[in-house]
Amino acid sequence: MHTTFIPIDYGYFDFEGRNYIKITGRDEKGKRLCVIDSCPIYFWAILKAGVSEKEIEKLRGKIEKIQLDANGRKTKVEKVEIHNKNFLGKPVKALKIFATNYKDMHEVADKLGIPEIEKRRGYDLGLITHYIIEKKLVPLNWYEIEGEVLNNSREFGGIDSALDVAVCIKLKSAKEIENKTFVPRVLAFDIETDEFQIGKGEILMVSLVSDNFKKVITSKQINAKEKGFEFVEYVKDEEELLEKFVAYVKKLAPDFLVGYFSDGFDMPYIKARAEFHKMKLPLGLDGSQPVFHRGSMTTCRIDGIVHIDLLKFVDTAYSQYMQSETMSLNDVSKEFLNDTKSNFEFKSSTKMSDEDWKDYFIYNLQDSDLTYRLFFKFWPDIREFSRVLQEPSFEISRNGMSKNVESFIIHNLDRFNEIPEKRPTHDEIGERRTREKYEGAFVFQPIPGLYENLAIFDFTSFWPSIIATFNLSKSTILEKKEKNSLEVDIGKSKIFFNKSPGFFPEMLKEIILLRKKYKQELKIKEDAITKARSNAFKLLANASYGYQGFFGARYYCPEASAATTGLSRDFIKDIINKIDKAGYRTIYSDTDSIAFLLDKKTEAETTAFLKELNKKLPGIMELELEGFFKRGIWVTKRAGDIGAKKKYALVSKDNKLKIRGFETVRRDWCRLARETQNKVLRMILEDGNEKKALIYIKEIIKKIRERKIDRKEILIRTQLKKQISEYKNISPHVIAAKKMQEQKIPIDEGALIEYFIAETREKKKLVREKVKLVHEKGEYDIKYYLEKQLLPAVENIMQVFNVDIRQIIENKKQDKLSKWI
DNA sequence: GGAGGTGACGTACC
DNA sequence: ACCGGTACGTCACCTCC
């Protein structure tokens, strides 16, 4: 039969010792299809140089006889082909060794103790990745497919009758067709429990949100059967709750089952409770249970349905560019949906009134609702990532950026006739991790002061554009200087690169172009999601620089990274020189950007000057105007009187602030200090002098002394980055965490700990001895908030105007004293 | 027991 | 372990007198 098809979920199974790929997706009418396909299973044996044709033929005969019993099945080498390929950019002769089962390829490869074989490659990609490379059936693209309908067929052991799909097709051919929109069926879910710890408590309710569908299933019997609460469905106990949950997933037939931190909480919790009741959870389309994979983090996979944990995707794709200080569903929703969930105060479930329960239902439903809407906010990105990286959504939503970069490389290698490099072994990783750091970016030492009329230039995708332009990679690095090679001085040594384009720099060019495309789109319509997508690709481009220096990378090449930063330092310093020579004055520079004074030059002259600079830049390197600014301030470091790097504030002509590095943007400072500093910066940058700011600071100080500051203004928030017992230095936030633990407040690694510094009866020396939690009784420590929070946040700013704020305050104190005397 | 240096730690910049 | 290096600042801890 013929049909359209969009692949969504990828799985595999074995039948009679062979591998089959099972792809779940939809046709254009929305019917759920399952496509079964297979592909050649093989790996590569790269031959040593100079092995003769005759010897190769002999080898082929020998290898073709390999048979073994592995993993409880008979497996053998099916055939061997001889190919001319490239490996790390160099031509090689290689044997393509076809085996029966993908999972046995390691063992087959181990059988090849043959001296003529230099390397074995291509057996560690994962079956699904291998399949997508072979058959080019890319996730979330549209295809016109042809195949044989399996209807109670005995082929594959009757798999079609066990699958909950409309049609099951054995694939014959697939042709990519014009892209159509695709609106996936999505079911968002969220559970509420009476104990935070998995396996300890019970599930109180589960909420489900889908298209025109909202539901909260609960075993709590309260009288809320009134108008507005039709979404609540009562069940007799937790077992029935779990049964209903499974039933609704079946009924709603989602392509994506979406949670927020559901890999780490909801799914493991549901599993633990099902085990407790000795129940099965047949969520998979083949009736299978969710499969948990425990690595550095647990993942949960459901057959035929893509389980997405949105938290992970948001974390890798956007967190660096987000304003929110936490990754909580609430904060993320606020940023991307302009929406917050209603506040709900958690009480022990035994102490809740009926009204409290009703609030709880609403709260639970809202979590799923936000998750549902967030999914659609990120859907274009999830889909785009899947298609560009050619990996299923399950993977791309969980992989880190380095893995994503690697996916892009792996799926584009055959255009370069390249054999994939292997993953580093455990030992190799260990060795790589001990390497010395290489020198990074150049940061200009600023001279503290308030400046007027500034411009900022910056390089677009600076490091990636250098890698692409100068061809810096593992496959292009040379052992020694060669004719027509590029020489890069990295300080203690020189490195050489081949000038003929390597596959990694070439691919990077494509990533940069994609980034450009999205940035262009962003200029046309400025909305959160276009912005996020542009950033996501910027991240992918930037990650490809970090990738080469990352110990886990297949194409690890720290020399290329060192050369990249080395060249970047040369370029930025050269531009700084040219800017200064042209009559401007450089104030600051960090990595890829330069801030300078216009002085008597006009903006038009400056844009023309930028054009001139660009003419002389090689390859795809490009300098652009970030903007013109009315004023900017740079301050000294707390210790010493030199200018602080990575700390400045600018104001544009339309009075928009751009604050970097200051306490204002640091979440581990209290709001009082942050907001005061922010206002002070605004006043100074808008007016060009410190007068108003000084008055304002004095007001705040008075308020602090008179204890008029709200508790929420003085809370300090610090993240617990590891287990409490692992800390060598017991800092205030560790004490706060310990207190929380004593008070049975659930905390975990990664939690943001909130506390304040309180006045104590006895004189305490250490800050940590004065730590109190938000709800604890006590007065704040005036001295601490004055001297350790407020003053540090404003004194360096006032110092720019030769105002010694500490002196002013102390004099005031004396004034008060003298009045008393 | 206070001064001063150092290391651990968290966070931000690009 | 899950992209890199650069930089600032606080607090605890250690040494020294």
> Measured between alpha carbons, how far is A485 from A502 in angstroms, rounded to an integer?
13
Q: Considering only A408-417, A466-475, A532-541, A680-689, which range has the smallest mean pLDDT?
A: A532-541
Instruction: Pick out the nucleotide with least CA–C1' distance to A661.
Output: B12
Residues 744-803 of A with CB under 7 A from strand C: 766-769, 788, 792, 796
Q: Residue A330, exposed/middle/buried by CB under 10 A (0-12, 13-18, 19+)?
A: middle
**A679 pLDDT above the threshold of 60:** yes
Q: Which residues contact A166 (CB under 8 A, 6 or more apart)?
A: A31, A32, A33
Q: What is the pLDDT of residues A692-713, one digit of tens each?
A: 999 999 999 999 999 999 999 9
Give the residue-averaged pLDDT of A166-181: 93
Q: What is the pLDDT of residues A301-355, one digit of tens each?
A: 999 999 999 999 999 988 887 888 889 999 999 988 987 666 777 777 777 888 8
Q: In angstroms, how far is the first alpha carbon of chain A from the final one?
A: 101
> Measured between alpha carbons, how far is A715 from A170 in angstroms, rounded to an integer?
61
Asked if strand B comes closer than 7 Å to A441 Cβ, the answer is yes
Q: What is the pLDDT of residues A527-564, one digit of tens each?
A: 656 666 676 677 778 899 999 999 999 999 999 999 99
> Measured between alpha carbons, how far is A705 from A782 in angstroms, rounded to an integer?
6
Q: Is A575 helix (H, G, I), strand (E, B) or coil?
A: helix
In what helix (H) or strand (E) does residue A94 lie, and over which residues does it extend? Answer: strand A90-99
Closest by CA position to A398, among listed A259, A495, A287:
A259
Instruction: Pick out the nucleotide with least CA–C1' distance to A638.
Output: C9
Looking at residue A536, what is its pLDDT? 67
Instruction: Say how far A810 CA is from B6 C1', in Å.
Output: 31
Q: What is the pLDDT of residues A240-287, one digit of tens each?
A: 999 999 999 999 999 999 999 999 999 999 999 999 999 999 999 999
Looking at residue A744, what is its pLDDT? 87
Instruction: Pick out the nucleotide with least CA–C1' distance to A539.
Output: C3
| DSSP labels, A454-507 | EEEEEETTHHHHHHHHHT-STTTEESS--TT-EEEE-SS-EEEE-SSPPHHHHH
Instruction: Say how far A745 CA is from B5 C1', in Å.
Output: 38
DSSP A302: B
Looking at residue A197, what is its pLDDT? 87
For nucleotide B12, the protein residue with its alpha carbon nearest to C1' is A661
- CB of A120 closer than 8 Å to CB of A112: yes
> Measured between alpha carbons, how far is A241 from A202 in angstroms, rounded to an integer?
11
Instruction: Pick out the nucleotide with least CA–C1' distance to A771.
Output: C11
Instruction: Say how far A725 CA is from C10 C1', in Å.
Output: 21
Looking at residue A765, what is its pLDDT? 81
Show contacts of A266-271: CB within 8 Å, 24+ apart: A266/A189, A266/A190, A266/A191, A267/A292, A267/A300, A267/A307, A268/A198, A268/A292, A268/A298, A268/A300, A269/A191, A269/A193, A269/A198, A269/A199, A269/A203, A270/A191, A270/A203, A270/A242, A270/A245, A271/A300
Supply the angle between the helices A503-524 and A462-470 in degrees, to the nearest 10: 140
> Measured between alpha carbons, how far is A634 from A446 in angstroms, rounded to an integer?
7
Instruction: Say how far A543 CA is from B5 C1', in Å.
Output: 37
Asked if strand B comes closer than 7 Å to A666 Cβ, the answer is yes
Looking at residue A41, what is its pLDDT? 97
Looking at residue A819, what is its pLDDT? 41
DSSP A415: G
For nucleotide C2, the protein residue with its alpha carbon nearest to C1' is A400
Residues 712-731 of A with CB under 7 A from strand B: 717-722, 726-729, 731
> Measured between alpha carbons, how far is A258 from A209 in angstroms, rounded to an integer?
10
Instruction: Say how far A764 CA is from B2 C1', in Å.
Output: 15
Looking at residue A159, what is its pLDDT? 84
> Measured between alpha carbons, how far is A167 from A27 in angstroms, rounded to an integer?
10
Asked if strand C comes closer than 7 Å to A552 Cβ, the answer is yes
Which nucleotides of strand B are protein-proximal, with an atom < 7 A from a CB? 2, 7-14
Asked if strand C comes closer than 7 Å to A403 Cβ, the answer is yes
Instruction: Pick out the nucleotide with least CA–C1' distance to A593.
Output: B14
Asked if strand C comes closer than 7 Å to A670 Cβ, the answer is no
- CB of A195 closer than 8 Å to CB of A264: no
Asked if strand C comes closer than 7 Å to A561 Cβ, the answer is yes
Looking at residue A528, what is its pLDDT? 58
User: Rounded to a whole number, what is the largest CA-CA distance in chain A?
Assistant: 108
Q: Is A319 helix (H, G, I), strand (E, B) or coil?
A: helix
Give the residue-averaged pLDDT of A138-156: 91
C-alpha R_g of chain A: 31
Q: Which residues contact A763 (CB under 8 A, 6 or more apart)?
A: none
Which nucleotides of strand C are protein-proximal, with an atom < 7 A from a CB? 1-13
Q: Which residue has the higher pLDDT, A29 or A381?
A: A29
**A422 pLDDT above the threshold of 70:** yes
**A211 pLDDT above the threshold of 70:** yes
Instruction: Say how far A410 CA is from B14 C1', in Å.
Output: 28
Looking at residue A121, what is its pLDDT? 96
For nucleotide B2, the protein residue with its alpha carbon nearest to C1' is A765
- CB of A360 closer than 8 Å to CB of A342: no
For nucleotide C10, the protein residue with its alpha carbon nearest to C1' is A788
> Measured between alpha carbons, how far is A501 from A498 in angstroms, rounded to an integer?
8
Confidence of residue A812 (pLDDT cuts 50, 70, 90): low
Q: Which residues contact A656 (CB under 8 A, 6 or more apart)?
A: none
Closest by CA position to A102, among listed A206, A17, A227:
A17
Instruction: Say how far A641 CA is from C5 C1', in Å.
Output: 25
- CB of A320 closer than 8 Å to CB of A314: no
> Measured between alpha carbons, how far is A213 from A209 in angstroms, rounded to an integer?
6
CA angle A588, A590, A596 (to 5 degrees): 30
Instruction: Say how far A552 CA is from C1 C1', in Å.
Output: 8
Instruction: Pick out the nucleotide with least CA–C1' distance to A752.
Output: B10
Residues 718-737 of A with CB under 7 A from strand C: 728-732
Asked if strand C comes closer than 7 Å to A350 Cβ, the answer is no
Instruction: Say how far A631 CA is from C10 C1', in Å.
Output: 30
Beta bridge partners of A97: A43, A80
- Helices and strands, counts by H and E, chain A: 24, 30
Matching residue, tokens 């409309």: A166
Give the residue-averaged pLDDT of A728-754: 92
Instruction: Say how far A563 CA is from B13 C1', in Å.
Output: 21
Percentage of residues of chain A with pLDDT beyond 90: 77
Instruction: Say how far A9 CA is from C5 C1', in Å.
Output: 38
Give the residue-averaged pLDDT of A767-795: 94
Matching residue, tokens 């691919």: A507
Instruction: Pick out the nucleotide with least CA–C1' distance to A297.
Output: C2
Residues 458-477 of A with CB under 7 A from strand C: none
**Measured torsion, CA atoms of residues A236, A239, A245, A247, in degrees rounded to the nearest 10:** -90
User: Across chain A, what does the average pLDDT equal?
Assistant: 92
For nucleotide C5, the protein residue with its alpha carbon nearest to C1' is A440
> Measured between alpha carbons, how far is A493 from A476 in angstroms, rounded to an integer?
17
Q: What is the pLDDT of residues A363-372, one digit of tens each?
A: 999 999 999 9
Q: Which residues contact A461 (CB under 8 A, 6 or more apart)?
A: A512, A515, A538, A541, A542
> Measured between alpha carbons, how far is A525 from A669 in angstroms, rounded to an integer?
35
In what helix (H) or strand (E) does residue A66 lie, and over which residues does it extend? Answer: none
Matching residue, tokens 């690697």: A406
Looking at residue A820, what is its pLDDT? 38
Q: What is the pLDDT of residues A577-629, one digit of tens each?
A: 999 999 999 999 999 999 999 999 999 999 999 999 999 999 999 999 999 99
The dihedral region occupied by A763, where left means phi > 0, alpha psi between -120 and 50, and beta the remainder, is beta
- What is the DSSP pairing of strand A143-149 with strand A117-121? unpaired
Asked if strand C comes closer than 7 Å to A645 Cβ, the answer is yes
Confidence of residue A523 (pLDDT cuts 50, 70, 90): confident
- CB of A595 closer than 8 Å to CB of A586: yes
Asked if strand C comes closer than 7 Å to A557 Cβ, the answer is no
Looking at residue A817, what is its pLDDT? 46
Q: Which residues contact A801 (CB under 8 A, 6 or more apart)?
A: A450, A689, A690
Residues 508-547 of A with CB under 7 A from strand C: 539, 542-543, 545-547
Q: Which residue has the higher pLDDT, A750 or A678?
A: A678
Percentage of residues of chain A with pLDDT beyond 70: 96
**A650 pLDDT above the threshold of 70:** yes
